[in-house]
């Protein structure tokens, strides 16, 4: 467990706490960890060359300081194949371990729309060599996110369209009901391996249609009943 000394006790200035805006509020949601679910829609698993049958979920993390609420995505260094992945974001207002699926939604503060931007070439090399995915997934500004909408306003969406347009042309479409591991099951599964806490967010995977971005592209995505997200690649 981390000690929390007074700020005057640090030898350098502590970094700011990463956070997301909350719709209808001046207060922000402080982000502790970002968990991401891999291959959680069957059609996306197939397009990436994998079996879409229900295998146990797998996870990776992005660093909270990769959150990007600017509406601008700077094309990252060391890649020439950067992909968009539109995703539903789940924000936890309460933590726990070994959370039962039937109790899992009680832990949700709200939902949002995000992009799991991916240096696909670097991820591909890492996969081939059996190495971790960090270099492909967890780089600066790699998690563009819109505001969170609290459960009190959005409820718990189990179905609804999720989409992404690039320069006005539809590229990704799916429905939340097509998730291989739905939100309660994902929270329950994660909580068996990690101690979840208030402030953790989960990026729940992307539907099919992923592809490369170019500088100048405008990405416009959304989830029915949750919100939209507009990001320009520069």
Residues that bind Mn ion (CB under 5 A): 85, 116, 206
- In whole angstroms, the minimum distance from the beta carbon of 158 to Mn ion comes to 20
* Nearest C-alpha neighbor of 152 from the set 108, 188, 183: 108
Q: Can you tell me whether residue 124 is helix, strand or coil?
A: helix
Nearer to Mn ion, 62 or 107 (CB): 62
- In whole angstroms, the minimum distance from the beta carbon of 1 to Mn ion comes to 30
Nearer to Mn ion, 68 or 206 (CB): 206
- In whole angstroms, the minimum distance from the beta carbon of 102 to Mn ion comes to 26
Nearer to Mn ion, 186 or 206 (CB): 206
CA–CA dist 63, 65 (Å, integer)? 5
Question: Residues 126, 127, 131, 133: is their CA dihedral positive or negative?
Answer: positive
DSSP state string for 5-53? --GGG-SSPPPPPPEEEBTT-SSEEE---EEEESS-BHHHHHHTT---S
Nearer to Mn ion, 116 or 200 (CB): 116
* Nearest C-alpha neighbor of 195 from the set 96, 100, 128: 96
Nearer to Mn ion, 123 or 191 (CB): 123
- In whole angstroms, the minimum distance from the beta carbon of 31 to Mn ion comes to 17
Angle at the Cα of 174 from the Cα atoms of 169 and 179, rounded to 5 degrees: 150
- In whole angstroms, the minimum distance from the beta carbon of 125 to Mn ion comes to 18
- In whole angstroms, the minimum distance from the beta carbon of 24 to Mn ion comes to 28
Nearer to Mn ion, 22 or 37 (CB): 37
Q: Can you tell me whether residue 97 is helix, strand or coil?
A: coil
Q: Can you tell me whether residue 151 is helix, strand or coil?
A: helix
Which residue minimizes CB distance to Mn ion? 116
């Amino acid at each position: 467990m981390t000690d929390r000394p007074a700020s005057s006790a640090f030898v350098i200035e502590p970094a700011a706490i990463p956070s997301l805006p909350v719709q209808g509020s001046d207060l922000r949601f402080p982000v502790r960890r970002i968990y991401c679910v891999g291959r959680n829609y069957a059609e996306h698993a197939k397009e990436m060359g994998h079996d879409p049958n229900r295998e146990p979920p797998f996870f990776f993390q992005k660093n909270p300081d990769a959150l990007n609420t600017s509406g601008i995505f700077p094309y990252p260094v060391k890649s020439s194949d950067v992909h968009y992945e539109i995703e539903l974001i789940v924000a936890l207002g309460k933590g726990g371990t070994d959370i039962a699926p039937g109790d899992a939604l009680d832990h949700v503060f709200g939902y949002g729309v995000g992009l799991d931007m991916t240096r696909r070439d670097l991820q591909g090399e890492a996969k081939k060599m059996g190495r971790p995915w960090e270099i492909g997934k967890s780089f600066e500004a790699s998690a563009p996110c819109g505001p969170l909408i609290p459960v009190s306003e959005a409820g718990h969406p189990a179905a609804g369209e999720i989409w992404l347009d690039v320069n006005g042309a539809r590229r990704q479409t799916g429905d939340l009901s097509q998730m291989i591991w739905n939100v309660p099951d994902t929270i329950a599964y994660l909580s068996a391996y990690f101690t979840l806490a208030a402030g953790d967010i989960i990026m729940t995977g992307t539907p099919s249609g992923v592809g490369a971005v170019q500088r100048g592209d405008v990405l416009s995505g959304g989830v029915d009943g949750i919100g939209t997200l507009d990001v320009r690649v520069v």
